[in-house]
Amino acid sequence: MVDENKIVVVEVLNGIQVSGGCSCCSGGCSSESSCSTPIDYADLTNQMTLDLKNTFGDRVKVNYVDVEQVGLDNYPIMKQILQMGYPYPITLVDGQPKFAGGIMIDEVKGIINEALKA
């Protein structure tokens, strides 16, 4: 039976990559770097929010989390993920890590569809 009141929570966690991964992936490039302009993941998260709200309405909630400001205390699984070398941003769906290194709207939609059917 489908729970019509279920709300899927999507969280995009972004911060400075401490070890592993390139600085481009974590949103910071040095002037000597060959990478282009840093990606604004907060803006991309806002775009994803609009897209998901158009598709799922109030059945989805999206949060952008700057871990440099709020810390990782509320996300204990993140320490493991970062130690494994996965780059920011990390996308969590209902508290479970699903994607790393970018904003994958279509893939997130698929996971939300499955979560709402469960």
Position 95 pLDDT exceeds 90: yes
What are 57-83's pLDDT values in tens digits? 999 999 999 999 998 888 888 888 988
Helix H or strand E segment including 46 = helix 41-56
Q: Which domains does the chain have, with CATH numbers?
A: 8-117 (3.40.30.30)
Q: DSSP string spanning 79-110?
A: HHHHHTTPPSPEEEETTEEEEESS--HHHHHH
Which residues, including other chains, have CB under 8 Å from residue 99's CB and lie 6 or more apart?
90, 91, 107, 108
- Predicted model pTM: 0.81
Smallest Cα–Cα separation from 40: which of 29, 30, 51, 32?
29
Residue 61 has a pLDDT of 98
